[in-house]
Amino acid sequence: MSRFWSNTVKGLTPYVPGEQPKLSQLIKLNTNESPYGPSPKALAAIASANTDALRLYPDPNSDALKQAIAKVHGLNPQQIFVGNGSDEVLAHAFLGLLKHDAPILFPDITYSFYPVYCNLYDIAFENVPLNEDFSISIDAYLNKNGGKNGGIIFPNPNAPTGRALSLKNIKDLLDGNKNSVVVIDEAYVDFGTESAVSLVNQYDNLLVTHTLSKSYALAGLRVGYAVGHPELIEGLERVKNSFNSYPIDKLAMAGAIAAVEDQAYLQKISQAVIQTRTELVKSLDQLGFETIPSSANFIFTKHPQHDASKIATSLRDKHIIVRYFKMPRIDQHLRITIGTDEQCAKLIEALKEIIN
Ligand SMILES: *Cc1c(COP(=O)(O)O)cnc(C)c1O
C-alpha cells in the first residue's frame, strides 16, 4: 500500500491469472491455452507484417479485421467490435453497457474477472447460484428481483465448469429479458456449443464475445471481439475511443485476419481437442473421477476419495500443473486443460500413481 495510491486502487481486488511458470519441461494444463500451434497462415502473416511500417500507428478502427470477422459470421462490420483480448472487450462492455442502477446478474461460479470489473467500475451485481449439477437455470435469471436487472452475463459454455446451455435456452432468456443487455461470453464456443451469434439480428440487446486465445491458439496475440447490434457496438467504440485508440497492433491485426480466414485449421484443431477430451474423460472415469460433461477445452473433475488441492500439489511435484480454485462449492474440483494425447496420457499415469 502506498500513500500515493488513489482510493480506487486501494479498493481493488485484482484478478489473479493462472500462473505462467518459466520452467520448461512442464505439462501446462492450467490456463486453457491450445496444445497446438496457431494457423501457419497466421504465423506467415505476422512475419510479413514485421517491417519498417511498424513505425506507423495501426488502423485505429481495425477495419480489415472487422471485415474478416463479419464475413465469417455472415454479418456486417458495423456489428463487430474488436479489442486487445476479449478481456478488454468485456471490460468495455461492463463500463459501457452493464453499468446501470439495477444490479447485473451472473452465476456464483463463473469467470472470476466479472466481479473484478464490477469492483473496478463500481457496478452493482448479484450472483445467481448454479443448480446443484452446476447447470445454469434460465428461470432463476428471469425471476430474480421480479425480472429487473442492469444486465446479464455468463460464459457459454460456463467456466470453470465447462457446462453449456442450448441455443433454445439462450433464446428463452432473451425472450424473457428484453430491457437490459445480455452478454454471452463464448470464449469456448468452438469446442462444441451452438453459438448465439446466429441470434444477433433478432435481439438488439444481445452481445456475444469471442476470443482468439483458446480455439485459435493465439493467446499470445491478444485479440478478442464482440458481435451485436450496431448501437451496442457504437457504445463499445465510445468507451474504446476514450481509453486507447489503438488496441490492435499491426502484428496482431495481420495474424488475427489470417487466423479468422483459416476456418479449416480452426475446425481441425478444435476437433482434435474434442476427441482428446472424450478419451480423457473415459480414462478419468476408470480412475473413479467424477467429471462434469464438458463442451470446452478443459474438464472440471473431482475424486470422491481424494482431496483436490492435494492432487493438484502432487501433480505439480510431477511437473504437471492444473487449476485449483479455493472457493466455496468448487474446492474439491480441479480444472484441467485438454492437452495433446501424449500430455493427457502422462496426466493419467501421474494420477494413477497419486491415487493408488
Ligand atoms: C479466457 C477467457 C476469456 C478471455 O480471453 P482473452 O481473449 O484471452 O482475454 C474470457 N472469458 C472467459 C470465460 C475465458 O475463459
CB-ligand 1 contact for 187 (6 Å cutoff): yes
Quote the CA–CA distance of 132 and 135 in Å, as a whole number: 7
- Here the cell at position 267 is 475446425
CA 101 to ligand 1 center in whole angstroms: 26
Are 300 and 160 within 8 A, CB to CB? yes
pLDDT, average across residues 320-346: 97
Q: Of ligand 1's atoms, which has the minimum distance to the CA of residue 223?
A: 7
Q: What angle do CA 276, 279, 280 make, to 5 degrees?
A: 85
Secondary structure letter of residue 338 according to DSSP? -
**Tally of residues, the chain:** 356
Q: How does DSSP classify residue 53? A: G
192: Cβ below 6 Å to ligand 1? Answer: no
Domain with CATH 3.40.640.10 in the chain: 40-261
The set of long-range contacts for 275-282, using a CB threshold of 8 Å and a minimum separation of 24, is 276/338, 276/339, 276/340, 276/341, 276/344, 277/191, 277/338, 279/341, 279/344, 280/336, 280/338, 280/344, 280/347, 280/348
Pocket flag, ligand 1, residue 107 (CB < 6 Å): no
Q: Which of 199, 200, 143, 208 is nearest to 176 (CA)?
A: 143
Q: Is the pLDDT of residue 144 over 90?
A: yes
Q: Which of 79, 86, 89, 90 is nearest to 201 (CA)?
A: 79
Q: What does the alpha-carbon distance between residue 274 and residue 155 come to, in Å, rounded to a whole number?
A: 18
User: Which regions of the chain carry the CATH code 3.90.1150.10?
Assistant: 17-37+264-355
Q: How far apart are CA 115 and CA 122, in angstroms?
A: 10
- C-alpha 134/C-alpha 156 separation (Å) is 13
Percent of the chain at pLDDT > 70 equals: 100
151 CA distance to ligand 1 middle (Å): 19
Residue 25 has pLDDT above 90, yes or no: no
CB of 185 within 6 A of ligand 1: the answer is yes
Q: Is the CB of 221 under 6 A from ligand 1?
A: no
Q: What is the mean pLDDT of the segment spanning 207-212?
A: 98
Outline where the chain has alpha helix (H). Answer: 7-10, 40-49, 63-73, 86-97, 113-121, 138-143, 167-176, 230-240, 250-261, 263-286, 308-317, 341-355
Q: What is the mean pLDDT of residues 23-27?
A: 82
- 259-303 pLDDT, tens digit per residue, is 999 999 999 999 999 999 999 999 999 999 999 999 999 999 999
Residue 22 pLDDT more than 80? no
**What percent of the chain stands above pLDDT 90?**
96
- Class for domain 40-261, per CATH? alpha beta
pLDDT tens per residue, range 171-189: 999 999 999 999 999 999 9
| 19: confidence class by pLDDT, cuts 50, 70, 90 | confident
Site to substitute for ligand 1 among 15, 190, 213, most atoms within 8 A of C-beta: 213
Distance CA 82, CA 307 (A): 41
How far is residue 3's CA from residue 169's CA, in Å, rounded to a whole number?
A: 49
Stretch 226-253: mean pLDDT: 98
Ligand 1 proximity of 232 Cβ (cutoff 6 Å): no
Architecture of domain 17-37+264-355: Alpha-Beta Complex (3.90)
Which atom of ligand 1 is closest in space to residue 213's alpha carbon?
A: 8
23, exposed or middle or buried, with CB in 10 Å at 0-12, 13-18, 19+? exposed
DSSP 133-178: TS---HHHHHHGGGG--S-EEEESS-TTT-----HHHHHHHHHH--
pLDDT, position 17: 82
Q: What is the pLDDT of residues 52-88, one digit of tens each?
A: 999 999 999 999 999 999 999 999 999 999 999 999 9
